[in-house]
Homo-oligomer: A and B are copies of this chain.
Amino acid sequence: MTCQDEVMPPARNRGRLSRDVVVNAAVDLLDEHGSRGLTFKLLTERLQTGAGAVYWHVANKDELVTMATDQVIGTALERLSPEPGTSPEARIRALALSVYDTLDQHTWAAPHVVAVHTMPHTMRLLERIGGMIAETRLPVRRRFAVATAIFIYLTSVTAQDAGRAVAAGPDSTRDDMLRHEAQQWAALDPETFPFVTRIAEDLGHHDDRDQFLTGLDLILDGLRAQVGDLP
């Protein structure tokens, strides 16, 4: 009855871990503690396991971050309720806004969006955009250029805006950041920066999301001009 098995590990929990469980835990940690918050120490503590177990399911940290980022793109697609009957244009707008707002909530993912081009959920995103484009009367040979233009605009501008929120720090809002940036602009030398100092004020009451939509509409205008009326 002497307890000599202190050293012995407890019964192994087989099948408790999986790729998805690990990725979801990574997303949670990144959401909670920011881009620096994902460490294998925290990850193994939360999953109540060891590093080796995690490495059985993922190749390395880079891959884990990439999968976590793709997961975020996936949630942006999931939260979108299909609205049959509305125009392709309107649905592209809704899709774009969903991605924009989702990345805004997971700002750590922004810098990595460029690296997930070939990941499953991101491919679904491109497929969705392409499907909507295909519903228009746009000539087939133009579809590639237009769909990828929208895709690139969506992912890269969204990433840029979200990145600005990251620089602001976790507790400050995007508005705080803009005000701070506007102050820095206004403080520049008006001699060498005549333009920037003059428009610094505009930056104060400027809305990233509005501007994102404005740019998207510009592309959609171009699309409409090429298509004529939509079906």
Interface check A51, CB cutoff 8 A: no
**Contact assessment for B157 and A193 in the assembled complex, using a CB-CB cutoff below 8 Å:** no
Q: From A1-9, A15-23, A92-100, A112-120, give the one contacting chain B.
A: A112-120
Q: How far is the CA of A11 from the CA of B149 in the complex (A)?
A: 59
Q: How far is the CA of A147 from the CA of B157 in the complex (A)?
A: 15
User: Which one of B117, B203, B218 contacts A222 once the chains associate, using CB atoms below 8 Å?
Assistant: B218
Q: How far is the CA of A149 from the CA of B152 in the complex (A)?
A: 15
**Contact assessment for A114 and B196 in the assembled complex, using a CB-CB cutoff below 8 Å:** no
Interface check A164, CB cutoff 8 A: yes
**Contact assessment for A145 and B184 in the assembled complex, using a CB-CB cutoff below 8 Å:** no
**Contact assessment for A193 and B147 in the assembled complex, using a CB-CB cutoff below 8 Å:** no
Q: How far is the CA of A126 from the CA of B198 in the complex (A)?
A: 12
* Residues of B close to A193: CB separation below 8 A: 123, 127
This chain: copies in complex: 2
Minimal Cβ-Cβ distance residue in B for A128: B195
**Contact assessment for B211 and A148 in the assembled complex, using a CB-CB cutoff below 8 Å:** yes
Majority SS of interface residues in chain A? helix
Q: How far is the CA of A131 from the CA of B193 in the complex (A)?
A: 9
Which A residues between 171 and 217 are near B, CB-CB below 8 angstroms? 181, 184-185, 188, 192-196, 199, 202-203, 206, 211, 214-215
* Residues of B close to A111: CB separation below 8 A: 111, 114
* Residues of B close to A184: CB separation below 8 A: 118
Q: How far is the CA of A145 from the CA of B110 in the complex (A)?
A: 23
**Contact assessment for B117 and A181 in the assembled complex, using a CB-CB cutoff below 8 Å:** yes
Q: How far is the CA of A65 from the CA of B125 in the complex (A)?
A: 32
Interchain nearest-CB distance for A179 vs B (Å): 13
**Contact assessment for A149 and B114 in the assembled complex, using a CB-CB cutoff below 8 Å:** no
- 10 further A-B pairs in the complex, CB-CB below 8 A; given A130-B195, A143-B199, A148-B211: A114-B164, A117-B164, A123-B185, A147-B199, A149-B211, A149-B215, A152-B157, A152-B215, A155-B160, A156-B157
5 contacts between A and B (CB under 8 A): A111-B114, A117-B164, A117-B167, A126-B196, A152-B160
